Amino acid sequence: MSDEHSLSAGTDIPRVTFKTMYATMLRIRKFEEKVAQLVSLKEIICPCHLYIGQEAIAAGVCASLKKDDWVFSTHRSHGHYIAKGGSLKALMAELYGKATGCSGGYGGSMHLAAPEIGLPGSSAIVAGTVPLAAGAALAFTLQKKDSVAVAFFGDGAVDEGVWYETLNFASLKKLPVIFVCENNLYSTHMSLADCLADTSIYKKADAFKMPGVRIDGNNVVEVYAAAQSAIDNARQGKGPTLIECMTYRWLGHVGSSDDLDKGLRSRAELEDWIARCPIKTYEAFLLKQNIMSRTEKARISKEIDAEIEKAYIFAKESPYPDVSQVAGKVFK
């Protein structure tokens, strides 16, 4: 659980980075809350796996990256897209299936693509983008580029054979790739303890002779520090790192409900994690340390609200893709 003591360990971080991470987390949270409302109203009908509760991971990792670094996302992709610098207008339009969406209206929530910001794609296939990140890292190495790749994935990805194959290859070739596990304790609708004999995912790095760490995924300062260390090592040719970020999704696996009716988790568990809100904890720290004033806080919130409203109007007014061009989007 994040607390003032652990957050204060990152006071050597530039003030602008502190503020950037806060704005990113709040932008993700507010955008996802808006999407949840629109899903409930059935205005957005594509399946949306929302990122509420996990904002510190995307914000902390992406704050450590350069534009030329690539991130590969999952079905729960909105947070990564926003943290890497994606347009809220293009994201909202994509959720509406509009031609102005980041994937032209053809991808929807689970298949966002924005190569111009360093997010070449996301996939609904569990662990599907993990080997793609390693492939990109191999390309960076062969091209002698000073870039790294990041593979975001959930705890459920560790059930897949390709995950182990990729970690082995990445370590063998000392690839500049960071494996970021967003461990929210549930693989779709199954407890992690019912999936893995050993739930300490970070320890699996030992088998591949790479560093593996478990951190508080709700503490953006801790995420930033761990990511920065791993990225620095990758750029220096020291190979990959596995970072297991412990976190919790507030909503259900998909959609705007909380899944409490499914009997998978208790209300007490959910409320305990909500009390650990990564944004509120971080906000209190920034205010107490005089890194951010209450006036700045209010301004940031107001600007994000306006940005989201503009994105909503843009998406609603945008045209749908031209049906006659659908075949042109298929590889032949």
Please tell me the distance from the alpha carbon of residue 224 to that of residue 325, in angstroms, as a whole number: 43
Would the pLDDT of 7 be above 60?
no
* 140-158: b (≥16 Cβ within 10 Å) or e: bbeeeeebbbbbbbbbbbb
Would the pLDDT of 148 be above 70?
yes
Please tell me the distance from the alpha carbon of residue 232 to that of residue 104, in angstroms, as a whole number: 35
Structure tokens at 282: 């971080």
Query: Worst-scoring range by mean pLDDT, 3-12, 167-176, 184-193, 255-264?
Result: 3-12
Question: Mind listing the pLDDT tens digit for each residue in 293-327?
Answer: 999 999 999 999 999 999 999 999 999 988 777 77
Label the pairing between strands 190-191 and 186-187: antiparallel
Would the pLDDT of 279 be above 80?
yes
CATH class of 4-259+268-315: alpha beta
CA dihedral 103, 106, 111, 115 (to 10 degrees): -20
- Are the C-beta atoms of residues 174 and 239 closer than 8 Å to each other? yes
Question: To the nearest whole percent, how much of the chain has pLDDT over 90?
Answer: 73
Structure tokens at 125: 């296939």
Please tell me the distance from the alpha carbon of residue 28 to that of residue 50, in angstroms, as a whole number: 10
The residue ranges of every structural domain in the chain are: 4-259+268-315
Closest C-alpha to 89, from 31, 44, 48, 50: 31
Question: Phi and psi (nearest 5°) for 317?
Answer: -90, -10
Question: Mind listing the pLDDT tens digit for each residue in 60-69?
Answer: 999 999 999 9
Mean pLDDT throughout 24-38?
Answer: 97
Instruction: Give the CA angle between residues 38, 42, 47 to the nearest 5°.
Output: 85
Instruction: Give the CA angle between residues 26, 190, 169 to the nearest 5°.
Output: 80
Is the alpha carbon torsion for 189, 195, 199, 201 positive or negative?
Answer: negative
Question: Mind listing the pLDDT tens digit for each residue in 178-235?
Answer: 999 999 887 777 677 777 788 889 999 999 999 999 999 999 999 999 999 999 999 9
Residues facing residue 152 across a β-bridge: 180
Mean pLDDT of the chain: 91
Report which of residues 262 and 222 the model is more confident about.
222
- Are the C-beta atoms of residues 244 and 179 closer than 8 Å to each other? no
Q: Token pair 């720290």 is at which residue?
A: 285
How many residues are recorded in the chain? Answer: 332
